[in-house]
Structure 1
């Protein structure tokens, strides 16, 4: 037994594995990242695991997308082998006596890549079977693409290595010695490494000559410095060639990024990035030896300094705005303009006109309910849930939901879904032949958007943003913000690709509800209110007494001399920068930024105003709706029978309280931070509940609140329940919570689609039917679209 263990311990694969663990920690870190991604332990909140477990190519997951993933992983594997060979082959001088030494090295250095491919295959098959509604045969066919791609890339690179080994040894052997003599520094560097290697040789008794043949090391084989020198030089050249090929591939993919054929799965582009870094790491470590880490940190600080001083400035712009002219002055003095009270009153009267035109559409003797739709943020999940809920509820109410709705607020993906449904209703109101409840629109919203973003990040944003495009006569860089908007534009059939000002007349004529976006200004935490209508009344506290707003002198006088400026009206503040020409998709992007995925937007002000997700201040849009209600409380109380807050949430409001479990040391350290982040939405819920409860004290009408929640594991109505609005049944075991990402799996889409049938949501629909009951409709039970 001892002899057997000794045989394993001194085998070449085992010694390489131990050496990698001891010495090549940076290279192993990339493997650990890949293991973490495919096992969903890393990047799950960003949906990064979907790039590997559900990779899309030309908008579908199939054999082709997995084949490309296999090619990328095969290339990364060979980059890992070559880097290890450059760094460590000198410790195994017996390689100098072998034919095709790098091939033998790669075979024996394959335990980690082999285990990763195996784990990847298992995770992929399990994920697809659980989440994509596919048969075993279909999943195995897709998995075979991964294996075939991996093997193909390995064989291609091996073939190249065999050719270069043969050519260099036969035709350049005599020239290499003279070349090293001419390049004295190279020769000295390599000779020093050989001398060091003689002092640090690693014992190896056996090695794999092929995948199935094991051979013993010949300890009597002669090792000449000349042979070792050739071995180092030739394979360093191979590494340089591979590096050039990979970088060129990334540049080509970036240049043709708008062609779907060149938009490889984002997971593959991420692996290409890892390949570049691994090969650079190998080359730098080889030449800089022990100084590599020190010089690496120095370069990091240098790059950080250059970025801080705008040498590598990479601003992400909002399309349609003028960045080339005069910048808006971003100061408190400019926020407190002298015309504040007059503008406030004028904007208020303008909106009263919109509300009056809406009121004229109802019988004079029957005051209608006014509906505020508040939809939560949450990426693709929130977009699809909002779209599904609005389609279902409006169909159940035979169009009365949108007819009664006067305001839409929210954040991130929720506003994407609400905007798309509002656009469909606008087209229908204008006479277009369109079925707003058609299931294909829900399918459109559910299309992937993550692949385009990450692909752009890897092939464009990290390296060079040299491509530009023109929008409304102005030039902007193509970056992942552009990728997000273009993919969203495709997903919504181009319906939302219009300037913000295009919605001015439809909103003013009350054809559609007002939609106010309120992303967060990172500079000072204020909200940026984006609307085609003038809405300056949203920017100051709703509790400022009317006497303070009466005249210009009293606006900044008395105890309210400096009323808090809680928001900035986009249209007025950036009027000279053509705020009305802002692309509506850019407005949605500003309201849906997410760290590392969709970048923060810089606006043309001095200093630059940086914008982040609206969910940072209120992920549900309720605070904005309450502020709107307070501004128009008197008009609404006199002209309506009350207000209904329809809150569309992509998370349950009252989740089960988790049990306390034993915590490790690391968990004890990070729990306070993690708990604060995890409970951020709950804190917002408490504030919003307080605001609505307080509103009951100052609003003279009735306030109702109807919540529709995405609760995938809740109980569903039985099919024979006579009170059910619909009689669909689904299997509970197929309903699982969708993740927070810009990508949804097949099961997640079904989970969202069927969550509207949950008992709580069915009660909410019935309550809406009662609140918005049409007096002329009779008592017949409604049948909504499915």
Structure 2
């Protein structure tokens, strides 16, 4: 029994259990990280792949793993520093050891080592079984990862070796230390009247266990001075690291510094832990209260001051004056009969131009009118949409786009569709081969690494830099970085103002594109397009006192240079996934903000059917029918989920969880209902659906980053039996 008690007084074991007693918040962070690397947390968003297969400069390499390891080493050190500040006073024997902080870290390394072991195990599994890498490659990846971890820890330990002292070294410096103005902020940190934790054994190194010495004969004041001095050095180190990381934001335009996204995630955790440690070392029991006060103050400043408002801008729009945004002004703008007649006339002329080209392409007097609806879903939807359009162009020998009149939808799908549309438009002038696989590869390039890096080093702390577009200057943020990355990946082909598309759309040289981000303030849709779309609110404006559902950007901001709006910004607004990308603030009074179109219509069906209804008379007389072509990242799911018993946890979580969990299902029901109404009209409507995944278990990340194996899955999906049947059906309809 006595021996068992001695084992229970093993220093690493005491620290491990003490973390769960005093560091619950930090243990929750560890729990999340363990869940991520074991692919049990955030798998659908692809977060585990960022850790298991990191990319640097668009490739998985030894260097990318080293950088990830360096970031993980920084988090490990933040964990040790925070633990030392919180738990150090409970273990006075540390002050008697040579290199006390180093010894503390060794004994506090059980959780970090366990994390590293789990990470390495899962790297082997992913890279070998999914990315099909050789064992030799994986060995070097793991060695690079470990080298990165060790590199940061060695740098930190060298610092503490030069600065920290134990009790033996204080005897000759007693007076100087007591008078040091730098140590005075820590003078209230006491060991306490009673020492609760007295370990019997500790780890002198990773492979050596020693028995602790008794400390009763040591001067308590000396212990406190050792602790204060070590804590001061720890705080100084944390300040250096924090400002160094934030300083990296000054070089956000340098590709070399755009570290892997997983490193940015670890960096974010590291920064918060270190900042909390710094505050705690000074304020101790007041820490939580001060943090709450700072949060309230920051919230107040964000509302009442320009600098702290952290706005994201629609590049190209004029922000010099604000447009009234209220029910009366919206009714005046959108419910205007004369503008409605002009809008319809504009689109009838566009349809006439479309008919001439489509009839020649299809060899029919009354051609089929194709409307493409694309789903949201991050980079997977973007790449899948582009892949399908590229394969259809090849299958129809370059004639498919001549039959396509309108493209609409949400999020990533519209990025892929817009990229293909632009390549199609410039194919002749630039000598582009639309079937070239190079464009597929470019579309799949990473959009997350620099985005997450900018979020951590720039947006959260100190914003810097401006962006000029169409003669106007704006504050830069991660939204701009997203646009720049997408622009670079697509060789600047989409870096155009909205007005650039007015003429080619009117001539029907390219299909119409309608974007519809959601206005966060009231749930209405902001319609963005190069043409006017007043008829999307219907063609009968009588008794519509509730106001319009759809607000046209070019009409709302007619005096704010709407045609100067960057098309890249418009695509970003349409794809603003919450928190990952910032909501875009618009120049209205009161101010409104826009974000992802998928909040209201993740498949574009609402926009398409409203367009058809408004122009159904012309379409009925001049076409042989409509083909609604869906490019979806997943099949419709109407499965019935039920449980025999409902637990207390279910009663607490299901009301909220079911609301969000069934959100896309509700959109599916609404879309099906709308389509049923459309089928009851006198129009012949056929639906073609190309599906990336048949069920949710087919793992492809909802993210702005894809692994190589995920790209291969997307590239091959068009060849599956379901999609080939849909292709045959489409060919038959256009024959």
Classify the TM-score, shorter chain: over 0.9
1:286 is paired with a residue of what secondary structure?
A: helix
Distance 2:83 2:546 in 1: 65
- Residue by residue over 1:266-308, the C-alpha shift from the partner in whole angstroms, topping out at 9 and shown as x without a partner, is 2222222322322233333333333322333333333333334
* 2:493 corresponding residue in structure 1: 495
Residue 424 of structure 2 corresponds to which residue in structure 1? 425
SS at match of 1:289: helix
Match of 2:504 in 1: 506
Q: Specify the alignment match of 1:139 in structure 2.
A: 138
Correspondent of 2:703 among 738, 741, 745: 741
TM-aligned CA distance change 1:702 to 1:712, over 3 Å: closer
* SS in structure 1 at match of 2:680: helix
Counterparts of 1:426 and 1:750, CA distance in 2: 27
Partner of 1:753: 715
**1:395 positional shift:** 1.4
Superposed, which structure 2 residues align to 1:548-627 within 5 Å? 556=542, 560=543, 562=545, 564-627=547-610
Per-residue displacement from partner, 1:328-370 (whole Å, max 9, x unpaired)?
A: 1112222222781111111110111111112122259721000
Out of 178, 197, 204, the residue aligned to residue 199 of structure 2 is 204
In structure 1, stretches of 5+ residues that fail to align are: 545-554, 715-734, 774-786
Residue aligned with 2:430, SS: coil
Equivalent residue number for residue 391 of structure 2: 392
Question: Quick one: structure 1 residues 304 and 505, their matched pair in 2 at CA, closer, same or farther if it must change by over 3 Å?
Answer: same
Equivalence for 1:351: 347
Instruction: Give 1:692's match in structure 2, choosing from 675, 692, 707.
Output: 675
1:496 positional shift: 0.7
Between the aligned partners of 1:290 and 1:158, the Cα distance in structure 2 is 28
Alignment partners' CA distance in 2, 1:614 and 1:479: 21
CA separation of 1:203 and 1:22: change in aligned 2, threshold 3 A: same
Q: Within 1, Cα distance between the matches of 2:642 and 2:722?
A: 25
C-alpha deviation, 1:572, in angstroms:
1.4
Give 2:635's match in structure 1, choosing from 649, 652, 657: 652
Deviation at 1:13, TM superposition (A): 0.8
Structure 2 unaligned blocks of 5 or more: none
Deviation at 1:176, TM superposition (A): 5.5
SS at match of 2:249: helix
The aligned counterpart of 2:296 is: 301
Cα distance in 1 for partners of 2:702, 2:118 equals 24
Do the aligned residues in 2 keep the contact of 1:94 with 1:221 (CA within 8 Å)?
A: no
Equivalent position SS for 2:629: strand
**Contact 2:331 2:547 (8 Å CA) reproduced:** no
In the TM superposition, what is the alpha-carbon distance from 1:669 to its structure 2 partner? 2.4
2:47 is aligned with 1:52: no
- What is the DSSP-based 3-state SS (H/G/I as helix, E as strand, rest coil) of the residue aligned with 1:565? coil
State how far apart, in whole Å, the 2-side matches of 1:613 and 1:165 are.
Answer: 52
CA contact (8 A) 1:86 1:235 kept: no
Alpha-carbon separation, structure 1, partners of 2:629 and 2:168: 76
Shift of the alpha carbon at 1:587?
Answer: 0.4
- In the other structure, the counterpart of 1:764 is 726
Measure, in 2, the Cα distance between the counterparts of 1:664 and 1:157. 48
Worse-superposed segment, 570-579 or 332-341? 332-341
1:725 match: none
Deviates more, 1:10-19 or 1:262-271: 262-271
Give the match for residue 164 of structure 1.
Answer: 163
The answer as to whether partners of 2:165 and 2:230 remain within 8 angstroms in 1 is no
Q: What SS does structure 2 have at the residue aligned with 1:740? A: coil
CA shift, 1:168, in A, is 11
1:521 is matched with 519
Report which stretch shifted further, 295-304 or 499-508: 295-304
Q: Secondary structure at the match of 2:39?
A: coil
What are the superposed Cα offsets for residues 494-538 of structure 1, whole Å, 9 maximum, x if unpaired? 111111111111111110111111111112211111111122222
Provide closer, same or farther for how the CA distance between residues 479 and 48 of structure 1 changes in structure 2, counting only shifts above 3 A. Answer: farther
Q: CA deviation at 1:105?
A: 1.2
Alpha-carbon distance between aligned partners in 1 of 2:156 and 2:344, rounded to the nearest angstrom: 69
Q: How does 1:316-331 map to 2 (within 5 A)?
A: 316-323=312-319, 325-331=320-326
Give CA-to-partner distance per residue, 1:729-770, whole Å, 9 cap, x none.
xxxxxx943121111112211221122122221111001101
Residues 263-272 or 451-460, more deviating: 263-272
Alpha-carbon spacing, 1:22–1:370, altered in 2? closer, same or farther (3 Å):
same
Mapped to 2, the partners of 1:121 and 1:11 lie a distance apart of 27
Q: Structure 1 residues 63 and 108 mapped into 2: Cα distance closer, same or farther (>3 Å)? A: same
Deviation at 1:240, TM superposition (A): 2.5
What is the aligned partner in structure 2 of residue 90 from structure 1?
Answer: 89
Alpha-carbon shift at residue 221 of structure 1 (Å): 6.7
CA distance in 2, matches of 1:208, 1:184: 31
Q: Aligned partners of 1:39 and 1:199: how far apart in 2?
A: 41
Alpha carbons 1:91, 1:200 under 8 Å: kept = yes
**Paired residue for 1:113?**
112
Structure 2 distance, partners of 1:570, 1:5, is: 73
Name 2:276's counterpart in structure 1.
281
Q: 2 CA distance for matches of 1:87 and 1:176?
A: 25
Q: Which residue of 2 aligns with 1:483?
A: 481
Aligned to 1:726: none
Please name the residue that 2:261 is paired with. 266
Within a 5 Å distance, the mapping from 1:445-464 to structure 2 comes to: 445-464=443-462
Q: Does 1:193 align with 2:168?
A: no
SS in 2 for 1:575: coil
Range with greater deviation from structure 2 (351-360 or 32-41): 32-41
Change (3 A) 1:529 1:576: same
Q: 1:71 to 1:321 in 2, by over 3 A?
A: same
TM-score under structure 1 length normalisation: 0.88
**Structure 2 CA distance for aligned equivalents of residues 217 and 293 of structure 1:** 34
Q: How many angstroms does 1:192 deviate by?
A: 6.1
Are the equivalent residues in 1 in contact too, given 2:95–2:227 (CA < 8 A)? no
Q: Which moved more, 1:37-46 or 1:2-11?
A: 37-46
Give the one of 613, 622, 628 matched to 1:639.
622
Q: Give distance in 2, aligned partners of 1:253 and 1:652.
A: 43
Secondary structure at 1:351 match in 2: helix
2:687 is matched with 705
Comparing 114-123 with 30-39, which one deviates more in the overlay? 30-39
Deviations 1:435-475 (A, max 9, x none): 11111111111111122221111111110112222222222
Q: Distance in 1 between matches of 2:201 and 2:440?
A: 60
Taking the aligned partners of 1:431 and 1:469, their CA distance within structure 2 comes to 29
What does the per-residue CA deviation read over 1:622-673, in whole Å, with 9 as the maximum and x for residues that have no partner? 1111111111111111111111100111111146545647665324422233
Q: Is the 8 A contact 1:82 1:235 kept in 2?
A: no
Normalising by structure 2, report the TM-score: 0.94
Assess, with a 3 A threshold, how the Cα gap between structure 1 residues 229 and 177 changes in structure 2: closer, same or farther. farther
Q: Give the whole-Å Cα distance in 1 for the aligned partners of 2:41 and 2:665.
A: 25
Quick check: 1:570–1:579 contact (8 Å CA) kept in 2? yes
Q: Distance in 1 between matches of 2:341 and 2:700?
A: 44
CA distance in structure 1 between the aligned counterparts of 2:168 and 2:489, rounded to whole angstroms: 55
Match of residue 628, structure 1, among 607, 611, 628: 611
Distance in 1 (CA, whole Å) between partners of 2:572 and 2:14 is: 51
Shift of 1:407: 0.5
Are the structure 2 counterparts of residues 587 and 661 from structure 1 closer, same or farther at C-alpha, using a change threshold of 3 Å? farther
| d(CA) in 2 for partners of 1:661, 1:259 | 56
- RMSD (Å) for aligned C-alpha atoms: 2.4
List aligned pairs for 1:770-785, cutoff 5 A.
770-773=732-735
> For residues 590 and 22 of structure 1, what CA distance do their matches in structure 2 show?
45
Instruction: Provide the C-alpha distance between the structure 2 equivalents of 1:156 and 1:541, rounded to a whole number of angstroms.
Output: 66
The 3-state SS of whatever aligns with 1:264 is coil
SS across alignment from 1:288: helix
Q: Deviations over 1:110-131 (max 9, x none)?
A: 1111111111111222222233
| Cross-structure match for 1:314 | 310
Cα displacement string for residues 178-207 of structure 1 (whole angstroms, at most 9, x for unaligned residues) = 4534759938x646613x1x4133121111
